[in-house]
Chain A
Amino acid sequence: MNTSLASEITQLTLEHLTLVLISMAIAIAAAVPAGILITRRAAWRPWLLGFANVMQTIPSLALFGFLIPVPLIGGIGKRTAIVALVLYALLPIMRNTLVGILGVEAAVRESAVAMGMTGSQLLWRVEMPLAARTILAGIRVATVTTIGTATIAAAIGGGGLGVFIFRGIASVDTTQILAGAVPAACIALAADGALGWVERRWTTG
């Protein structure tokens, strides 16, 4: 393998990782609180879950395309790519947060309230620790999906390993396609393994 290809792989892998990390950080910061919110406000459930659901049903290439003409968040480049990736990652995290918290036994919740826990004590000392595994499972699914979807970001100038793939398709060059696909798959496997390990560390609950 020549050195220029190797260095490009390194550079685009880093770019890819950056895209995924930023997107996931934003998605977690938005979807976990949203998931908690809809455990408290059942009336908002269909709206927030519905929104996240619709976002996921839009084909990824189309979603990237739709965002280009949108002011502020749209245009060509990384920012648009991150917005799209965040929208994609919302559903599994939000849904698992909801399911995890609602899955806490009614008797456990009732005793917590009866012992005089405030709303936030109930959430942070009881519900979140018990829901942690389920929430992490949602984050894991979202992360692995995002690593794959992020390859499409290259179509709107978002960079990352997709650059190789699109270039390879355009020039019918399998080497280029593999130079993008193999590292992306490796990142996905590594992320899945690492998050799976964290998940298993939560042995109780």
Chain B
Amino acid sequence: MAVRREFADRVSAVVEFRAASYRIGAREILKGLTLSIEAGETLVLLGRSGSGKTTALKMVNGLLYPSAGEVLVDGAPTTAWEPVRLRRHIGYVIQEIGLFPHYTVAQNVAVVPRLENWDAERIRARVDVLLRQVGLDPEQFAGRYPAQLSGGQRQRVGVARALAADPSVLLFDEPFGAVDPVTRLDLQKQFLALRQDLGKTSIFVTHDVREALMLATRIALLCDGALELLATPRQFLDARGDEAQAFLECLAWKADRR
């Protein structure tokens, strides 16, 4: 908290939702979300399937635009950003990873730097640094294709790719959802270590309450498209609301069995 107060003077919200709604036809997927994410924090959007958390995330990098209200990135509404500029400024990691199968690991990581026309030497050096940061030996992995990697390794490459052009915000959409629990814990630890080193602002979508408690500086609990609760992990553990209780029960059940 002390750190946050130090920053508060100079840094306003990096991402800000202002009564942002999203509807498809008559269905309102997100209902007037108001929320601001400050520099350096990891805000976890927690919720069940269909709670609107992925929709909220996609509004940040302009994959979706609010049908009412607005989303501000670095003080400007996403609608005022040129979409390509906005997206190159934000890292994005998804569960299916979406590595390019025809590119090697190094080429995958280098996608955004190449789009930004960095020179070859700078790209090579950057790829080396990034692969080390996510715990992959460049000599061993740079030349491989995604099909030659394990699920956990692919996800690491996905994270390295998102970090490549040093974006100011990182978005994670259930990035560790498809890997086995042991690998998952590994990746979560890596995430915490990276946050320690890089201090990036992150928005992280998950339905796993344990993951939320482990990674979040704040948790935003979404239910049926509405913000139910905004709390630090410590506050979340004492939360009284039905939806929060429902998620906390997932933890309790595991504890009882022991």
Contact = CB atoms under 8 A, between A and B. Distances in A.
Given A107-B96, A110-B63, A116 B112 contact: yes
Residue among A107, A116, A126, A205 with the highest chain B CB neighbour number at 10 A: A116
Interface in A102-149: 105-118, 121, 126, 129-130
B101 A108 contact: yes
A114 B94 CA distance: 10
A117 B165 CA distance: 14
Contact of B87 (A105, A107, A114, A205): A114
A113 B92 CA distance: 10
Interface size class of A (residues with CB under 8 A): 20 to 34
Contacts of B145: 204
Contacts of A117: 84, 115
A184 B125 CA distance: 55
A109 B63 CA distance: 12
Given A110-B63, A118-B84, A205 B98 contact: no
Contact of A115 (B85, B87, B96, B147): B87
B94 A116 contact: no
A111 B92 contact: yes
A121 B115 contact: yes
B97 interface: yes
B61 interface: yes
Interface in A166-192: none
Contacts of B92: 111, 114-115
A40 B183 CA distance: 39
A116 B115 contact: yes
A105 B96 CA distance: 10
B102 interface: yes
A108 B98 contact: yes
A110 B61 CA distance: 12
A115 B107 CA distance: 14
Interface in B113-154: 115, 145, 147
Given A115-B112, A117-B115, A108 B94 contact: no
A111 B92 CA distance: 7
Contacts of B101: 108, 130, 204-205
Given A110-B63, A121-B115, A116 B98 contact: no
9 contacts: A105-B96, A105-B98, A107-B94, A107-B96, A108-B99, A111-B97, A112-B98, A114-B63, A114-B92
Nearest first, the 10 A-B pairs at minimum CB distance are A111-B98, A107-B96, A116-B88, A107-B98, A116-B87, A114-B92, A204-B102, A116-B84, A108-B98, A129-B102
